[in-house]
Amino acid sequence: MTVIISLKLPAGAVLYILTTTLFSLVQQYFVSGLGGLTPWVKKAATLWKK
């Protein structure tokens, strides 16, 4: 959906949306960690090693 919307917007607006989204993800990780995803991440890590 974001890609479809991004095709119609100017490049600056798309860059702004991507930058703020990435910043929000990093900020959320540092504030609350993985939250309820910890068991999923551990399971994915063990599957990745196989």
- The amino acid sitting at 26 is V
Is the pTM of the predicted complex or chain greater than 0.75?
no
Angle subtended at Cα 31 by Cα 25 and Cα 34, rounded to the nearest 5 degrees: 65
Query: For the chain, what are the domain ranges?
Result: 2-49
Q: In this predicted model, what pLDDT tens digit does every residue of 1-50 receive, in sequence order?
A: 777 877 888 888 889 989 999 999 999 888 887 777 778 888 888 888 87
**Contact (CB, 8 A) for 4 and 14:** no
Residue 33 has a pLDDT of: 78
